Structure 1
Amino acid sequence: MIKVAGLTVLLSLMALDGLPQTKPGGDRTRLPKPWSDAEVVWHLADETDATGGHPLLKTQGEGVKMGVPLSGDERAASRKRGGDGTVATFDGSSWLALESTPGGKPFPEPDALTVFTRVKATKTGGLFHSNLFSLVVHESGLAVAILGVADADGAMYREIPLSPLTLNTWHDVAVRYRAGFLDFIVDGQLLNHVSVPGKPQAILTGPTVLGGWRIDNPPVSSFPKPVIAFLFQRLFTGLMDHAAVWNRALTDAELARLSGVSALAGPGPVSEAQRCLADYHAFFTASRQKDTVACEKLGFAMRRFMARDPRRPTYHLTAPMDAILDPAGAFYYKGQYHIFSYRNLVSLLACNPLAHYVSDDLIHWKDRPIALWPDSDLDVNGIWLANLFFDDQRQLSTIYTALGKEGKYGVLARSHDDLLSFTDKQAVMTDQVHHDGHTWKDGNTWYSLTTRQHWGERPGDLGDAIVLLSSPDLVNWTERGTIFDARKHPAPRSDQQRQGFTEYPYLLPFGDKHVLITGTRPVQYWVGRFDQSKPAFVPDDPTGKLLDYLNPFHCFNPLAIDHKGPGGTERRIIQAMHLYTSGQVDGILWYGAHVLPRILTREGDHLHQEPVPEVAVLRGKHDQRKNVLIRPGATDLLAGIEGDALEIIAEFDPGTATRFGLKVRTAAGGRGGTTVFYDVSKDQFGAADNLKIPAPYPELGQGPAYLKKGQRVQMRLFLDRSMLEIFVNGQTGSGIFNNDVKGTGLDLFSEGGAATLTALDVWELKPAWPLTN
């Protein structure tokens, strides 16, 4: 079932075998079977429907050209399929839309549908979109179906990975739905036969689109157009021959004839990549059924397959297959640590649920069922950052940023099954701004900190505002005022810096001070005093410090507090993400990883971070060195020590050197690699060379170490395939190696004089999952 602007139809984007051209107001009786009972047929020589049942398609933008002539073999192939040798071309900036239906009267919804396309994609993007069904070629080249489904608990869009689609090649692509199964047929071969539980149901409203996937009028109208497009739109680049829509499932024989073959071919041997895609799909079903055992097994199976990528981290938290993004919720409960994050393939932050990971020790993570679903009108467009707490009745609760049919607001929900799922959804912040809120209770009053985003439109140097809300009961909220204003960067290197952009604010008490951390670019924090009566946060120093000195976009969450410190004291655990690590296995993409969980404390005017000591459980083979003199220009000082999954603790006596440290991921002879340094005169640590820092912020690459002159310098490093984490006296940097990294060696260096490596301990670190036999 596909609703097209109030009309339930099925789109078939395909070559029209023997289809005669018709003029506006075409005659259905002139169309041969199976086209004669199609709901709509677009020949794409012009904007008309060959059945005469629908108004003209409307071009949205100037990047679509219709009736473009083909030549040579492509023209002959078009005519063989029933085309006239002309196509519609899309340049990735525009699309075709069917805005309405005759009389606005819906047709009865069918119990089956078919989608069939003859298309040549030169870049990835959406082929077709309606309020019930979309077909998109993901950036990996993977075809993904997006289907609206409803069950007893609600209705949402479900992304169904299908099979890769080769670019720059003409394909006949069919999607057929009947009796709870979705079939994917390419060039006359059945590639997938997928069970889809639930009843198909249109979710949102808006026009049907050819040449794109896009959510019409998402609830973020204040966002800049490029940001909205990034979040809610994937447009097509390539050629499309014809398009048609049926309200039934075509037979195998009909699909074979339309594909130019005598009979549909079977799926053939199932590859391990296809099994991984099937596991991703099955994970959704198992999650909806709250089957924790199945989800753990399916997650592990996907991880074992994706571990083949030599860049993929082995002991950092990643998603099983797709992307892990912000730690959208971090909580310690009944002896376990919980992390929530976004889960989607195509739409990422649109119409997305929250994935769920759980650990007993912050190192070994298990995949739990998807916890929070965009299955109501309150959040159908997607769920953004959520934070957890106990309400006044000691019930596990969350307030999350919801993208609903009526706008973007805060929704309160509760878990009655130990964080397995959330129900009792209630919109509680509809008149106030809510973007990535931090909620806590002080005395008899609840408070929530959120961000009012201005996108650079405030006068002067003011950027986004950090706003405080209060409530007596978590339901009725009052805006108390702005407690802090971000500032526009004086020498911006990105739109975010130019706008004074910020998000996910956290206000944390540390003794007699508070620390405000905000998601600026890069992430900043301030130590100061919070005056609740005004309200206002007044920093001791208006110049913010960085939470991470290598990561340009360090999504973080510091709200997990346990009681496992010395003597049973509380520890504040900070979780954070690194977006820029990525890779693929057999065309299946993954990207993003969370850094090692860190213990967060305050030392005077700055924060201190150390990796949780539980990481020691991963230690394997151990190597040591002592009292190695490091002269300028010397190499191969640590010959025999190598690896791409290591923990390194190195202690140095600066001696007469002005700069010294380690080189990691070096090739033979100490060539290449990344330098991790300490600069004696500046009291700065940092890293340089062969690191992937997409945003060239000058603040990144080095930071203060807060060491005394002459003090010995300890560097603690973690290597995990493509990831590097550095800790020097509680200051941190998390980086990603460039794609050309191949070396696994370790070396030392000094400049300006000689330094001494007084002690070195290196451990090989085991994977957090048993990823190999």
Structure 2
Amino acid sequence: MSGIIDNNGLIMYWAFDEGSGANAMESISQVKDDIQYVFNQAEFTEPCSPQWRRGVTGSGLLFDGYSTYIAHPATQEDPNAEPESLSALSIGVWVAPRTYEWGHEGKLAAIVNRHNKDAKQGYLLGMFRHGSWSFQVGLEGGEWKELWSPEGYELPKNEWSYVNAVFDGNQGEIKLFLNGSVIASAAVPRGSRLAEAVDTELLIGRNNHSTLLAKVFSLHMFSGIMDELKIYNRALSNEEVAASYQEVLDSTHEGARPQVSYDEIKLDRTPLLADRHRPQYHVSPPAHWMNEPHAPIYFDGQYHLFYQHNPQGPYFHHIHWGHWVSEDLVHWRDLPIALAPEKDQLAPDGIWSGSASYDADGLPVLFFTAGNDSASPNQSVALARSTYSEDGDPDLVRWTKHPEPLIVQQKGIGAFGDFRDPFVWKDEDGWYALVGSGIEGGGGAALAFASEDMLNWTYKGPFFEADIQKFPYLGPIWELPVFLPLGSDKQGVSKHVLLVSPVGAGADVEVFYWIGQFDKHGLSFIPDQEEPQLIDVGDFHFTGPSGMVDPKTGRNIIFTIAQGDRTSELEYQSGWAHNGGLPLSVYLREDGRLGIEPIQELQSLRGAKRLSLRGKSLAEANVLLKDVQGDMLEIQLEIEPGSAAQCGIKIRRSPDGEEETLLYYDVNEAMLLVDRTKTTTHPGEKCSGVQGGKLELPGENLKLHIYLDRSMVEAYANGLKSLTTRVYPGRQDALGLEIWGTGELLVKSMEIWEMQSIW
């Protein structure tokens, strides 16, 4: 056969040249297939069509990785096809993957398929872990045949690849082609025929038999751009495949392989900017899932912050390190994923939380928890270096992993199998690491390690462990230890703060802290008080701590995740899950307590000042508040309780009070509380009830510093405690404010600003 492309036998063809809209034409049958996409209809944001991008010819379709797919009815494949059409099948398609799927249950993220593996019917072309890919077919007679890409022929992320799969039953062969060349072949019995997958749709971008996660998310979805999908009922020759590849190169790219710009394929936050619940001045991924932000570091005039991220969709799975950069800790830029699981023996199954420090030359290094399910334990401490010294990468986009784990947990060191979230710092004597774990048969613990060269580490024993009998809520395992210097108290004694996150049976999953002294010689911590304290009393909305000493200002800064508090169904519909909390400055107060304040740089987000009042009664203040509405506000409020045993402010209030959220202080109980019993009328939202915790304010007025940012509410009380919570009103007019109290009170002062988006 010559190199001329013969479209004889072409039974299906999607050119993806529409460039807009929610349909893709199958050219042979002239059927317009619907493109399934989460925002075709949208409850919380503006509806929009699937995302189209530049293709290898014309446009291509961007698959978001969790909701985008096409179903083509089987009856429309080719109703006039002769039976011998089942003796051969060829598929050709251009793909630019954005992410790789983890491969749960050994299933492929389908590019195109119409198969039933259990019945050994049909065909499946798809991707697997770390870019490997496969063509699989069911043969009449009950055989399931799989042909896999060999080592070194994985499909690269963010690049176009031309993929072909050919089944030739007459010749007894199946073949894989990459960019026009054969890379693998296998024999099948001569005269083999494909077994038709009866009652099965042809799906593009979604596996016919995908696994459901959390009863909502279909795994095994393709993520990236697809173009020029052709299916033939005959076996294309090697020359035809090569010519097909060369035709695209010659016609549009002057003989070079087509390129994908990162801006075209990256996760796009634009469809989410109009989401009425998504925070606009809190840091967040462009889309999809995050949990804790971590590894803050300052370098070359910029702050870097990383985060636990699933780029495939808004669900917890196959974790990567996302990356932001900022010049002011307020306005952040999205950068490419910094660390991803790779096909290695270090961290093939996940890049879990960690921290950042500097090497001996002052260059940034990342310490992370390496997930490797083939090892025991399946978590170890690993290192990645910036390529800054080699290529001057100003945004620290590129990182190289050290090939071996730095610290592997041995039996007898902590609770075996729980060993994660290294917190590393450096001083003039070397490097020190705390690792979250527990004590066998006991409670949670932070384990201490030391190193003189950053690569070889020595175990020094438990840094600190609490009495789980006395404080059972501190749980059997601690995660995310953070250790920061607070300076000297009034007696000149040097103090530090240790933060931990308990998990496991009986644990209260909040951020607890102790103030105490650091025994550097013994590498241990001696708390001033046995009982831990909470920074935040908002009930699992302020979690996942990380921290740094800011070299620019000397401040201790804490970062957290603000949990979304929503169902998986709503996270699917919304396309995002969670965001970061506002950066906090923590310090030692004159009275020896831990002070907490939002960083001053947040004032740069203030827009119009909506209100400024002094010395008003409750009724007078509420008259002035009637015209102040908003879901992106900063509020500073001081209340003198007077005869009111409880006082505070209602936020996100509908005009008739059907929906409202009450932040208040109970003077007699010394409690800072939020009442969410009327927060939402939406039947799917979870936020409800009353949450809060202790706040001692002997003789002080209540001073609240409140940040409203769509669904985010953060209230800082008297520089001592925060209360972080979530609100998802069902009504779009739930934007009002109202001072509230159970008796006569005085609004000493109140100031309100509109806040601007950082995006």
> Do both share a fold (TM > 0.5)?
yes
Q: Helix, strand or coil for the counterpart of 1:305?
A: helix
Q: State the partner residue of 1:519.
A: 501
Q: Helix, strand or coil for the counterpart of 1:343?
A: strand
Tell me which amino acid in the other structure corresponds to 1:735. Answer: T
How far residue 442 of structure 1 moved from its aligned partner, in angstroms, is 3.9
Q: State the partner residue of 1:328.
A: 294
Q: State the partner residue of 1:103.
A: none
- Asked whether the equivalents of residues 336 and 397 of structure 2 are also in contact (C-alpha less than 8 Å), the reply is yes
Q: Distance between the aligned counterparts of 2:693 and 2:466, measured in 1?
A: 21
Q: List aligned pairs for 1:240-259, cutoff 5 A.
A: 251-254=230-233
Q: Helix, strand or coil for the counterpart of 2:398?
A: coil
Matched, 1:728 2:717: yes
How far residue 338 of structure 1 moved from its aligned partner, in angstroms, is 1.1
Q: Distance between the aligned counterparts of 1:741 and 1:236, measured in 2?
A: 30
Q: Distance between the aligned counterparts of 2:315 and 2:125, measured in 1?
A: 18
Q: Distance between the aligned counterparts of 1:726 and 1:506, measured in 2?
A: 23
Matched, 1:601 2:587: yes
Structure 1 residues 156, 736: closer, same or farther in 2, change over 3 A?
farther
How far residue 536 of structure 1 moved from its aligned partner, in angstroms, is 3.3
The CA deviation string for residues 516-555 of structure 1, in whole angstroms up to 9 with x for no partner, is 1001211111112233444432322222111211141533
Q: Helix, strand or coil for the counterpart of 2:603?
A: helix
Q: Distance between the aligned counterparts of 1:439 and 1:669, measured in 2?
A: 52
Q: Helix, strand or coil for the counterpart of 1:428?
A: coil
How far residue 740 of structure 1 moved from its aligned partner, in angstroms, is 2.7
- Asked whether the equivalents of residues 129 and 213 of structure 1 are also in contact (C-alpha less than 8 Å), the reply is no
Q: Helix, strand or coil for the counterpart of 1:614?
A: helix
How far residue 564 of structure 1 moved from its aligned partner, in angstroms, is 5.1
Tell me which amino acid in the other structure corresponds to 2:561. Answer: M
Structure 1 residues 727, 180: closer, same or farther in 2, change over 3 A?
farther
Q: Distance between the aligned counterparts of 1:388 and 1:398, measured in 2?
A: 5
Tell me which amino acid in the other structure corresponds to 2:713. Answer: L
Q: State the partner residue of 2:736.
A: 745
Q: Percent identity of the aligned residues?
A: 26
Match of 1:363 among 318, 322, 330: 330
Tell me which amino acid in the other structure corresponds to 1:116. Answer: R
Tell me which amino acid in the other structure corresponds to 1:430. Answer: V
Q: Distance between the aligned counterparts of 2:422 and 2:381, measured in 1?
A: 8
Structure 1 residues 647, 750: closer, same or farther in 2, change over 3 A?
same
Q: State the partner residue of 1:550.
A: 538
Tell me which amino acid in the other structure corresponds to 1:653. Answer: E
How far residue 662 of structure 1 moved from its aligned partner, in angstroms, is 0.7
The CA deviation string for residues 413-440 of structure 1, in whole angstroms up to 9 with x for no partner, is 2112242211152321124574000111
Q: Distance between the aligned counterparts of 2:273 and 2:115, measured in 1?
A: 34
Structure 1 residues 669, 657: closer, same or farther in 2, change over 3 A?
same
Match of 1:661 among 648, 670, 675: 648
The CA deviation string for residues 483-518 of structure 1, in whole angstroms up to 9 with x for no partner, is 2235658898xxxx5953420111222121221100
Match of 2:557 among 570, 573, 589: 573
Tell me which amino acid in the other structure corresponds to 2:272. Answer: M
Q: List aligned pairs for 1:581-596, cutoff 5 A.
A: 587=573, 589-596=575-582
Matched, 1:401 2:383: no
Q: State the partner residue of 2:424.
A: 439
How far residue 335 of structure 1 moved from its aligned partner, in angstroms, is 2.1
Matched, 1:352 2:334: no
Q: Distance between the aligned counterparts of 1:189 and 1:308, measured in 2?
A: 34
The CA deviation string for residues 585-641 of structure 1, in whole angstroms up to 9 with x for no partner, is 994511111111111112255322111111112212212233221279x97662111
Q: Helix, strand or coil for the counterpart of 1:402?
A: strand
Structure 1 residues 285, 734: closer, same or farther in 2, change over 3 A?
farther
Tell me which amino acid in the other structure corresponds to 2:485. Answer: P
The CA deviation string for residues 93-137 of structure 1, in whole angstroms up to 9 with x for no partner, is xx9889xxxxxxxxxxxxx98522489xxxxxx9999554599xx
Tell me which amino acid in the other structure corresponds to 2:575. Answer: L
- Asked whether the equivalents of residues 631 and 749 of structure 1 are also in contact (C-alpha less than 8 Å), the reply is no
Q: Distance between the aligned counterparts of 1:767 and 1:691, measured in 2?
A: 24
Q: State the partner residue of 1:73.
A: none
How far residue 703 of structure 1 moved from its aligned partner, in angstroms, is 3.2
Q: Distance between the aligned counterparts of 1:588 and 1:156, measured in 2?
A: 29
Q: Helix, strand or coil for the counterpart of 2:479?
A: coil
Q: Distance between the aligned counterparts of 1:640 and 1:721, measured in 2?
A: 18
- Asked whether the equivalents of residues 361 and 614 of structure 1 are also in contact (C-alpha less than 8 Å), the reply is yes
Structure 1 residues 762, 739: closer, same or farther in 2, change over 3 A?
closer
- Asked whether the equivalents of residues 507 and 516 of structure 1 are also in contact (C-alpha less than 8 Å), the reply is yes
Q: Helix, strand or coil for the counterpart of 2:270?
A: helix
- Asked whether the equivalents of residues 148 and 155 of structure 1 are also in contact (C-alpha less than 8 Å), the reply is no
Tell me which amino acid in the other structure corresponds to 1:630. Answer: L
Matched, 1:115 2:113: yes
How far residue 746 of structure 1 moved from its aligned partner, in angstroms, is 0.4
Q: Distance between the aligned counterparts of 1:513 and 1:250, measured in 2?
A: 64
Match of 2:600 among 610, 613, 626: 613
Structure 1 residues 395, 535: closer, same or farther in 2, change over 3 A?
closer
Q: State the partner residue of 1:314.
A: 280
Q: Distance between the aligned counterparts of 2:423 and 2:702, measured in 1?
A: 36
- Asked whether the equivalents of residues 613 and 749 of structure 2 are also in contact (C-alpha less than 8 Å), the reply is yes
Structure 1 residues 761, 619: closer, same or farther in 2, change over 3 A?
same
In the superposition, the TM-score normalised over structure 1's length comes to: 0.61
Q: State the partner residue of 1:508.
A: 484
Q: State the partner residue of 2:671.
A: 684
- Asked whether the equivalents of residues 294 and 559 of structure 2 are also in contact (C-alpha less than 8 Å), the reply is no
Q: Distance between the aligned counterparts of 1:190 and 1:619, measured in 2?
A: 49
Q: Helix, strand or coil for the counterpart of 2:636?
A: strand
Q: Distance between the aligned counterparts of 1:491 and 1:480, measured in 2?
A: 25
Q: Distance between the aligned counterparts of 1:488 and 1:34, measured in 2?
A: 69
- Asked whether the equivalents of residues 478 and 500 of structure 2 are also in contact (C-alpha less than 8 Å), the reply is yes
Q: Distance between the aligned counterparts of 1:422 and 1:701, measured in 2?
A: 42
How far residue 687 of structure 1 moved from its aligned partner, in angstroms, is 1.6
How far residue 393 of structure 1 moved from its aligned partner, in angstroms, is 2.5
Tell me which amino acid in the other structure corresponds to 1:332. Answer: Y
- Asked whether the equivalents of residues 155 and 375 of structure 1 are also in contact (C-alpha less than 8 Å), the reply is no
Q: Distance between the aligned counterparts of 1:608 and 1:540, measured in 2?
A: 16
* Structure 2 gap segments, 5+ residues each: 1-70, 91-103, 118-123, 136-147, 161-175, 182-198, 220-227, 235-258, 389-393, 411-417, 488-493, 503-508
Q: Distance between the aligned counterparts of 1:761 and 1:503, measured in 2?
A: 38
Q: State the partner residue of 1:763.
A: 753
Structure 1 residues 148, 372: closer, same or farther in 2, change over 3 A?
farther
The CA deviation string for residues 288-334 of structure 1, in whole angstroms up to 9 with x for no partner, is xxxxxx38x956xx222211211111111111111232113111222
How far residue 382 of structure 1 moved from its aligned partner, in angstroms, is 1.1
Matched, 1:381 2:353: no
- Asked whether the equivalents of residues 451 and 467 of structure 1 are also in contact (C-alpha less than 8 Å), the reply is yes
How far residue 644 of structure 1 moved from its aligned partner, in angstroms, is 0.8
- Asked whether the equivalents of residues 128 and 211 of structure 1 are also in contact (C-alpha less than 8 Å), the reply is no
Q: State the partner residue of 2:433.
A: 448
Q: Distance between the aligned counterparts of 2:471 and 2:730, measured in 1?
A: 31
How far residue 651 of structure 1 moved from its aligned partner, in angstroms, is 1.4
Q: Distance between the aligned counterparts of 1:471 and 1:670, measured in 2?
A: 59
Structure 1 residues 539, 562: closer, same or farther in 2, change over 3 A?
closer
Q: Distance between the aligned counterparts of 1:674 and 1:149, measured in 2?
A: 58
Matched, 1:560 2:548: yes
- Asked whether the equivalents of residues 670 and 747 of structure 1 are also in contact (C-alpha less than 8 Å), the reply is no
How far residue 355 of structure 1 moved from its aligned partner, in angstroms, is 1.3
Structure 1 residues 607, 585: closer, same or farther in 2, change over 3 A?
closer
Aligned length: 547
Structure 1 residues 151, 557: closer, same or farther in 2, change over 3 A?
farther
Structure 1 residues 562, 530: closer, same or farther in 2, change over 3 A?
closer
- Asked whether the equivalents of residues 337 and 359 of structure 1 are also in contact (C-alpha less than 8 Å), the reply is yes
Q: State the partner residue of 1:79.
A: none
Q: Helix, strand or coil for the counterpart of 1:436?
A: strand
